[in-house]
């Protein structure tokens, strides 16, 4: 009977630690994927997502990931840009 109680206590402690850990980790993950600020860029003739991403990638993300994030924040289904188009560029702090 004592062994059963010890197992129950261990399970409760592990559940508590799991909840505590998730409360610490989830905000960090959310912060990592949330931009600190945005800048609006007017697309110029000859601009590409690659060239714009390279210009504003201040925390050295993989350029392909940064392009993907730009597309996500602008609801873009492809990477085609038109001169005069306004796009929001997510900016991230370097930690």
- Give residue limits of the domains in the chain: 1-34, 35-95
User: What's the confidence (pLDDT) of residue 41?
Assistant: 95
CATH homologous superfamily, domain 35-95: LysM domain (3.10.350.10)
- pLDDT at position 59: 64
First and final C-alpha spacing in the chain: 51
The answer to whether 40 and 86 have CB atoms below 8 angstroms apart is yes
User: How high is the pLDDT of residue 30?
Assistant: 41
Beta bridge partners of 40: 88
**CA-derived radius of gyration, the chain:** 22
Amino acid 29: pLDDT: 46
pLDDT, one tens digit per residue, over 37-90 is 889 999 999 999 999 999 988 767 889 999 999 999 999 999 999 999 999 999
Structure tokens that stand for 84 in this block:
């005069």
pLDDT band at 28 (very low <50, low <70, confident <90, very high): very low
| Spatial separation of the C-alpha atoms in residues 72 and 82, rounded to whole Å | 17
């Amino acid at each position: 009977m004592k062994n059963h109680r010890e197992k129950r206590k261990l399970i409760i402690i592990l559940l508590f630690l799991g909840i505590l850990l998730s409360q610490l980790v989830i905000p960090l993950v959310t912060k990592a994927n949330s931009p600190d600020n945005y800048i609006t860029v007017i697309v110029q003739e000859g601009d590409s997502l690659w060239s714009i991403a390279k210009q504003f990638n201040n925390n050295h993300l993989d350029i392909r990931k940064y392009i993907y994030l730009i597309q996500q924040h602008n609801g873009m289904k492809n990477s085609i840009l038109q001169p005069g188009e306004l796009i929001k560029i997510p900016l991230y702090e370097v930690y």
